[in-house]
Chains A and B, each alone.
Chain A
């Protein structure tokens, strides 16, 4: 019960500060393997070598370099690397509040819960105020030597901080040109809309399971007991030729027989 906080911080909003603890809201469910030498199942290690001499290079002896052109490096020393690091701080500084629609889905990277660290009333009052105002805060902070930008938002009665990717990391759709072609037929658009409508429902994430991961888990368990799982085969899908015929047939299948 209960996760360990990964960081203690202070939310700074204008003149106000609210002490908080940060918890990861995402958890790893991946199955992790060790690499083994096939002949004796001994865990593989890695060694770092100088390809010219084939000698092992100890970690302490390595240098960091940025490749400015192919095979041309600028070497940075520890001091230079450290100088780029942001100043350590406990502050999560909210710089502005914006309409959530300004934050594109592409930006979201990693969610964290913020929990109160004393001063519970302020914590819950802030969450309530964010909810009533329908706003998200843009926040900046430095954690483990790395600078972050995030969206501060209310999640039910609680506060959540979602780390955002930096602008450099995003390829915005606006910078791309959509595929072009002859105007779409009105009838096809209408049919497609009807089909989407017929297949529309609520987002219920619990309905989707990581089937593959569960099957890997089953395989591991079966092998542990010396059994094997039945094999499955791959069946390719034929491509559809007539768009409106396919749409009509799909609509029928979806249980709706509206006139095209």
Chain B
């Protein structure tokens, strides 16, 4: 895979508070963000879960005119004052300005009894799962003091080409997952639920007319002519991010517009430290079940505090995530809380690459209802619909 200059330069482009589609990848802090047990018949396999994807979009932070990174504060317009996260509740709007208030404890009580259990009761051929269902991937690493059951399941999944299907609840959301193996490593592919996908009828696609055989043959010829036996790795890269990073590098080398803002004393917890997600997953794969042969030694020692320049240059992407000295989540399930301190991302001016922050701002100016609970994609959709 391609090596980029920016890998060496140590781009922190991990999925920190990923600009926000409410998925747990915003927790990609290099530590497992979920741990639980896979049940396979009566066999229990304790596992830790890590994101297998990271955001490639270059994340920009918003600075005040004096160069200080901005912070977000919750604000009550009625009281005309800032509000702490623990003074906030969630409301479901049933009519304009009328809400059903839900407390965290109530939502917790709705979680399934075995919320830490991924119970594999069905196995299917991986090839049978339509690609439209695949949403996001997570690696599973063995936890506990034996990795034998983990290796056994991975081996069988790999040999049979099957995936175990299950649902489980993680952070306020239920996931449908297909647990499969590649390179003897278990991976949970989060799948969309059935009702999250539209059918051609839902979309209103027209019925197929009679199609001339010659016309099909014409396209068959084109397909054959342009068939390749592999992908072009360069084609699969995010050029926009690369161009942005090139500009950043040039300016950094020229020491142009480089600022080191003065930060307030109590700002310690706002200082991100870098974590190499790839390294963390590597170590977890080896450390789980260490009593039966795994070892901690194969990973490089710490992941924190390494200078950007020491990043391995041999890997496809920098794999750095930004993490917080302290978990910024205050109270469960207040998605907006994370943006308080998280560096908002931003690439360019178009909707698709705006930060959630900016989209939210736009949504607010358009007075789009329900915007505070919307994911980035939903904000885009809502703004677009607004015209």
Contacts and interface: CB of A to CB of B under 8 A. Distances in A.
Contacts of B133: 205
Given A113-B198, A179-B294, A243-B149, A25 B211 contact: no
A61 B64 contact: yes
A106 B51 CA distance: 11
Contact of B230 (A102, A193, A220): A102
Contacts of B180: 105
A36 B348 CA distance: 31
Interface residues of A, number: 178
A258 interface: no
Contact of B258 (A46, A59, A72): A72
A68 interface: yes
Contact of B215 (A122, A234, A237): A122
Nearest to A151: B131
Contact of B235 (A77, A137, A138): A138
B74 A45 contact: yes
A68 B311 CA distance: 13
B123 A106 contact: no
B52 to A, nearest CB: 5
Contact of A48 (B62, B78, B307): B62
A79 to B, nearest CB: 10
Contact of A208 (B46, B131, B167, B248): B167
B11 to A, nearest CB: 8
A193 B156 contact: yes
Nearest to A184: B152
Interface of B is mostly: mixed
A257 interface: no
Contacts of A137: 223
Nearest to B36: A237
Nearest to A146: B352
B37 A239 contact: yes
B153 interface: yes
Given A113-B205, A179-B289, A193-B160, A67 B110 contact: no
Interface string A21-48: 0011111111111111111111111111
A66 B12 CA distance: 9
B134 interface: yes
Interface in B55-71: 55-56, 58-71
A122 B216 CA distance: 8
Given A34-B372, A40-B76, A253-B42, A115 B205 contact: yes
Contacts of B109: 229, 231-232
Interface in A73-105: 73-78, 80-86, 94-100, 102-105
B132 A63 contact: no
A59 B64 CA distance: 9
B35 interface: no
A19 to B, nearest CB: 14
A171 B162 contact: no
A38 B352 contact: no
Given A3-B202, A76-B60, A125 B224 contact: no
Given A84-B240, A121-B211, A237-B117, A209 B193 contact: yes
Given A44-B88, A73-B260, A237 B114 contact: yes
Contacts of A73: 61, 63, 67, 69, 258-261
Greatest chain B CB density within 10 A among A74, A135, A235 is at: A74
A257 to B, nearest CB: 14
Interface string B267-294: 1001111000110011001101100111
A93 to B, nearest CB: 10
B197 to A, nearest CB: 6
A26 B76 contact: no
B208 A124 contact: yes
A90 to B, nearest CB: 15
A58 B175 CA distance: 38
B162 A200 contact: yes
Contacts of B137: 105-106
A188 B182 CA distance: 20
A166 to B, nearest CB: 4
Contacts of B192: 26
A97 B172 CA distance: 40
Contacts of A121: 209, 211-212, 215
Interface string B31-60: 000000101111110100000111110111
Given A35-B90, A199-B122, A177 B352 contact: no
B329 to A, nearest CB: 14
B61 to A, nearest CB: 5
B317 interface: yes
A39 B185 contact: no
Nearest to A84: B243
B63 A125 contact: no
A145 B204 contact: no
4 smallest beta-carbon distances between A and B, as pairs: A145-B350, A250-B41, A2-B204, A32-B373
Given A36-B101, A125-B211, 7 more contacts: A45-B75, A105-B137, A144-B352, A168-B54, A175-B315, A213-B173, A236-B114
26 contacts: A3-B203, A16-B222, A25-B197, A32-B370, A37-B78, A37-B79, A41-B101, A48-B62, A68-B9, A68-B308, A74-B256, A77-B257, A97-B223, A100-B131, A106-B52, A108-B132, A124-B209, A132-B216, A133-B223, A145-B348, A157-B208, A208-B194, A212-B172, A216-B107, A220-B100, A238-B44
